[in-house]
Structure 1
Amino acid sequence: MAQLGAPTVLVHVSFLAAMAEFRAEGRGTPGDPFEIGREIREFGDSWETPEGFAVYVRWLLDQAREDAPRPAGYVPSTNLWLTDGDEYLGRLAIRHRLTDRLREGGGHIGYDVRPSARRRGHATRMLHDALPFARALGITSALLTCDVDNVISRRVIERNGGVLQDRHGDKWRFWLPTG
C-alpha cells in the first residue's frame, strides 16, 4: 500500500526510472521552472550512483532546516515521497512559509506524480496525507496554486477541500484548511 513519508535511498532504482519518465516528457530542460526540473538539472548526473543518490536524499531531508543552504529566495521545505514498497510514485514539498513569489504562483504545497503512476488517485492521496504535516508546521490554511489549464490538479485541490480565492495571471489560487 502506498505511503507518504520521508525521502529514502530504498527506492533508488525506481526513482531513476521515474526521473527518466519525467525527462521523456520534457522535464529538466533549461526552461522548466518547477522544482523537479531544477533538481534534475542540478542533481541528475549524480543520481546514478548509490553514493550520489544518498547525498541527494540527505539534501532533500536537510531542506526542512532553517539553516540549510538553498538557492536565493527559497524557504525551508519538508519533502515527502509517495512510495509503495520499493516503488517511487511521486513527491510533495511543503514550503514552511510564503514569499511574494510563492503567494503569486507556488503556494505552500507542490506535488508531482511520476507519469506511469498518474490517474490512479495518488496526487489526491498525497495532498490529503500531507495536510497533518503542514498543520504540524503551523500552517492552518495552505495556499495551493495550479495552472488554469491544469484541470486534474484543480480537481485534486478541490477534492481535498480547497476553496478558490482567485485567478492570478495563468494560475488559480486556492486555500486549503489543514486541520
Structure 2
Amino acid sequence: MQTVRLVEPDRRWKDTYLSFYEEWKKSQDQMVPWVISIEPYDFEGMLTFLNQQKNGIGLSEGWVKSSTYWLMDADDQIVGAVNIRHDLNEHLLNAGGHIGYGIRPSARENRYAVTMLSLALGKAKELGVSRALVVCDSDNISFKRTILRNGGTPDKDYIEEDGNRVNRFWIEL
C-alpha cells in the first residue's frame, strides 16, 4: 500500500477534496463521517466551520468538540476522512463513539481504513483521549474487522430505536 498521512483540512487541498466529495456524492453511498456531507462549494466557509468545531465555537446543543482530518495518499489525493470527537456525550457513548471514518468508494479494499483508524487513534491520544470508543453497525463486517485489527475490545452492543444493532469497541491508547 502507498504511504498515507492525515492532514488537517486546508485550502491547499480544495481540488482534491472537491473530487473526493463529488465521487462520494455520485456513488449515493452514505457519507461517513458526517462532516463530509457538508457541501464544500463555499470551501472557505466549510473550513471555518470545521475549525470552529475543533475549537468548540458555536456548537449546536448536544454536540462536542471534534477534529476532522483527511487521509492523503502519496500522490496528494484525498482517499478518506476521519472525525474525532474530543469527548463523549450520552448519544456518542451509545452509538457514535470517538471516531467516525470513511474511505472514498474508488479507494476501498486497499486497507486504507485500517491505516486511517490507526493514525486517528494517535491523533485522539494527542487530544487527551486515553481510551477510545469506536462503533459500527453489526452488519458492517469490514468496519468491525478494521476496529479489531486496531486492538478493539468488544463491549455491550447498543440497540437503536429503529432496531439497528451497534457494535461497540474500546481501544486503549
Q: Which residue does the alignment assign to 2:139?
A: 149
Contact 1:10–1:86 under 8 Å retained in 2: no
Match of 1:11 in 2: 13
CA contact (8 A) 2:33 2:100 kept: no
Partner residue, 2:102: 112
What's the counterpart of residue 60 of structure 1?
Answer: 50
1:34 CA drift (Å): 5.8
Q: Is the 8 A contact 1:107 1:143 kept in 2?
A: yes
Structure 1: state its 5+ residue gaps: none
TM-score normalised according to structure 2 size: 0.86
Flag the 1:76–1:158 CA change in 2: closer, same or farther, 3 A. Answer: same
Which deviates the most, 127-136 or 94-103?
127-136
Say which of 67, 89, 95 aligns to 2:85. 95
Question: By how many angstroms is 1:27 displaced?
Answer: 4.9
Give the alignment of 1:11-90 within 5 angstroms.
11-27=13-29, 35-36=34-35, 40=37, 43-44=38-39, 47-48=40-41, 52-66=42-56, 68-84=57-73, 85-90=75-80
Shifted more, 91-100 versus 127-136: the winner is 127-136
Percentage identity across paired residues of the two chains:
33
What's 1:175 paired with? Answer: 170
4+ residue segments displaced more than 3 Å: none
Q: How many positions carry a matched residue from both structures?
A: 165
Matched, 1:136 2:126: yes
Amino acid at match of 1:107: G
What secondary structure, in the 3-state scheme, does the structure 2 residue paired with 1:143 have? strand
* 2:93 aligned counterpart, secondary structure: helix
SS at match of 1:175: strand
**Residues 34 and 94 of structure 1, relative CA distance in 2, 3 Å threshold:** closer
**CA RMSD, 1 decimal:** 1.9
Task: Compare 68-77 and 146-155 and name the one that shifted more.
Answer: 68-77
Q: CA–CA distance in 2 between the matches of 1:133 and 1:33?
A: 18
Alpha carbons 2:32, 2:100 under 8 Å: kept: no
Deviation at 1:73, TM superposition (A): 1.4
Alignment check: 8 A CA contact 1:167 1:173 kept: yes
Structure-1-length-normalised TM-score? 0.84
**Amino acid corresponding to residue 127 of structure 1 in structure 2:** L
